[in-house]
Structure 1
Amino acid sequence: MKKLFTILVFYIFLLWITPLFSQKEQLIIGRTTGILFLNNKKSIRTFGFTNSLSGQVTLPGHIISAKVGDSVHLDFWNISQGNPVSLYCKEIDFLQRDSNHEIMVKKEPVHHMEHGYYSFLAKKTGTYLYYSPENYPFHLQAGMFGLIIIKSPNTYSQSVTSMEEVLWCSHEIDTEWHTDDLMGTEYDPSNKPIIIPRYAPNYFCINGENSKKVKGLLDRNNNHKTILIRLVNAGLYLHSVQFPSKVKLQINNGIDSNFNQKTKENKIFIASGETIELLANLEDVSAKEKIFYQFIEPETQKECFRAEIPVLY
């Protein structure tokens, strides 16, 4: 009887834990056929990651969602026409497996029309940038980047009210890197580096759109709420975000040294490839106050572009 009770308790535990910690399988497709509309008159070709053959390329690309404890398995299908591609995340250790699902001691790029199998354990909540490190920084700037968002299991509980979230993934674009000559590079199995001109970005974007067109963080009628802001730098420049002094900020996840609150500037610095999560209370902010989003050339430390974004809309 005691043994039967023990077995029963074990199975009840498994039934309880399974919805919280599970295996997640996701398809990611690498493409070189994306189109990004910079304005009404100009569009450029981009690379990118989607999760279906019919899916349109967006910047950032496919967002991988998981919760702490999940074992995430990625089937990466490279249908791009150019050089081989791979997946990489600085903060998360990807395991790569071959077609027999054996762990590969040496990671290899995925060639045209082949599959690459990656997996990782979601250990820590946060926002993470993943991208193709092949032909760096060309593939990254061309659009082969996406996000991994890992949440706490408690976030998925019905008893927890979901907090409003805002994602700002900023990046620059040099249209000279998006010509047909470069973007249409033919497949080379040797993965020979692509020769690119000096980086001189002329468009500065947030979530694939002109950063000046971002409408703001929150509806002014809901400014009493605390929101979660995910800031991601998918560009090659240093990005800084200066909030009005009346915005009450608290780091949720990220590097504390990026938050220059001691100067009372409420300024965040985000280096290339870095991310940070902030909790922001906007109840004392007026409708006229703005956020200054700066794109800074890393060597000269000179501001190349600044967008003024309303806090409330």
Structure 2
Amino acid sequence: MKRRCKCILVFLFVCTGPFLSAQNDRLIIGRTTGKLPIGKNVTIRTFGFTDSLSGQVTFPGSEIEAREGDSVSIDFWNISQGNPVSLYCKEMEFQQRNAENEVMKVKEPIHHMVHGFYSFQAKKAGTYLYYSPENYPFNLQAGMFGVLIIRPKETDSLDHKPSQEILWCSNEIDTKWHTDAIMGTAYDVSNKPILLPLYKPNYFLINGKTTIENKGLQSFVNKKEKVLLRLVNSGLYLHEIQFPSDAELKFISGSDRNLIAGPNGYRIQLHSGECLEVFVFLDQVNEKEKIRYHFIEPISKKVAYKAEIPVFY
């Protein structure tokens, strides 16, 4: 009798096992022919990740979305003319596979017009930055980065869902790094680092647009509804976000040390590559309040740029 029960349990495990996780397949294309308008009559050349050959390069690039427990496979097609590139996420182990789907013991950059294959297990819900680590930090600053969102396995009821989800992916741009002379560097089999001028950013962006173009966080008519805010620092500076004193923030994922409560309200500090998810409650906030965004040079600790973003629109 005991043996029969054991067999039944094994059978149930085998039958239900495949349903515990889902397979998530993605195609991402790496390219060096992007154009990004960043101001009045100002357009710069960029690198980036797109979902299709006809897709336009955006900041951030291709978004990867999965649910906890998913097995994610990525077909990365490098059509860039520059040095070989690859995919990397600091908090997520990207396994590289060959054409036979075997895990490669030694990871290699993907060369021009070649497909590379990656896979990872979506173990922990949260928001993450992925990027090309070759010629760091050039490829990152040039635009070869995207956001990876892993949603919790459990589905919240409608009563507990936020009214909206907002992604603020911020970075700086030094236009001297985006000239054709630098971005058109000839292919080099040694993949040597590109010689760059001293980094002095002159544009400061959120989701690929200047900070003054950001309309705000929440509609005023919906101020009583909580907002899920995903913050990603894809730049090289320290990014600090100061919220009004009456705003309430609840930590969701990332590092809770980056969320700081003070007498003047909550502030969030994100170093390069760091991400944070928070619930934001704005029902007690005045209609005219602002969110202050600071871009801070990491060595001197001096604020290089300040922006004020309306809380409501």
Range into which the TM-score falls when normalised by the shorter chain: over 0.9
Task: Give the corresponding residue for 2:113.
Answer: 113
Structural mapping, 1:121-136, within 5 Å: 121-136=121-136
Output the amino acid matched with 1:244: P
Output the amino acid matched with 1:202: N
Residue 154 of structure 1: CA displacement?
Answer: 2.1
In 2, Cα distance between the equivalents of 1:81 and 1:153? 40
Change over 3 Å in CA distance of 1:11–1:256 after alignment to 2: closer
Superposed CA offset, 1:24-75 (max 9, x none): 1100100101110012311001000011111111100001000000000011
Output the amino acid matched with 2:178: H
In 2, Cα distance between the equivalents of 1:173 and 1:12? 52
| Matching of residue 235 in structure 1 with residue 227 in structure 2 | no
Residue 11 of structure 1: CA displacement?
Answer: 8.9
Task: Give the corresponding residue for 1:215.
Answer: 215
Name whichever of 228-237 and 158-167 sits farther off: 158-167
Task: Give the corresponding residue for 2:87.
Answer: 87
Residue 153 of structure 1: CA displacement?
Answer: 2.2
In 2, Cα distance between the equivalents of 1:265 and 1:287? 16
Task: Give the corresponding residue for 1:268.
Answer: 268
Task: Give the corresponding residue for 2:16.
Answer: 14
> Do the aligned residues in 2 keep the contact of 1:111 with 1:189 (CA within 8 Å)?
no
Output the amino acid matched with 2:251: I
Change over 3 Å in CA distance of 1:42–1:13 after alignment to 2: same
> Do the aligned residues in 2 keep the contact of 1:154 with 1:160 (CA within 8 Å)?
no
Task: Give the corresponding residue for 2:104.
Answer: 104
* TM-score using structure 2 length: 0.93
Tell me the SS of whatever aligns to 1:154: coil
Tell me the SS of whatever aligns to 2:228: strand
In 1, Cα distance between the equivalents of 2:228 and 2:158? 19
Output the amino acid matched with 2:257: S
Name whichever of 137-146 and 31-40 sits farther off: 31-40
Output the amino acid matched with 1:198: L
Output the amino acid matched with 2:81: Q
Structural mapping, 1:1-313, within 5 Å: 6=8, 10=12, 14=16, 18=19, 21-155=21-155, 162-163=161-162, 164-313=164-313
> Do the aligned residues in 1 keep the contact of 2:82 with 2:185 (CA within 8 Å)?
yes
In 1, Cα distance between the equivalents of 2:125 and 2:108? 28
Structure 1 unaligned blocks of 5 or more: none
> Do the aligned residues in 1 keep the contact of 2:49 with 2:57 (CA within 8 Å)?
yes
> Do the aligned residues in 1 keep the contact of 2:246 with 2:265 (CA within 8 Å)?
no
Tell me the SS of whatever aligns to 1:58: coil
Change over 3 Å in CA distance of 1:188–1:12 after alignment to 2: closer
Give runs of ≥4 in structure 1 deviating > 2 Å.
9-15, 157-163, 262-265
In 2, Cα distance between the equivalents of 1:72 and 1:126? 15
Output the amino acid matched with 2:12: F
Residue 6 of structure 1: CA displacement?
Answer: 4.5
Name whichever of 242-251 and 100-109 sits farther off: 100-109
In 1, Cα distance between the equivalents of 2:224 and 2:236? 35
* Equivalent pairs, count: 308
> Do the aligned residues in 1 keep the contact of 2:243 with 2:291 (CA within 8 Å)?
yes
Residue 237 of structure 1: CA displacement?
Answer: 0.2
Output the amino acid matched with 2:85: V
Superposed CA offset, 1:66-122 (max 9, x none): 000000001100000100001000000110011222111111110101111110000
Output the amino acid matched with 2:44: I
Change over 3 Å in CA distance of 1:60–1:84 after alignment to 2: same
Superposed CA offset, 1:219-270 (max 9, x none): 0000000111000000000000000010001111111111220444311100
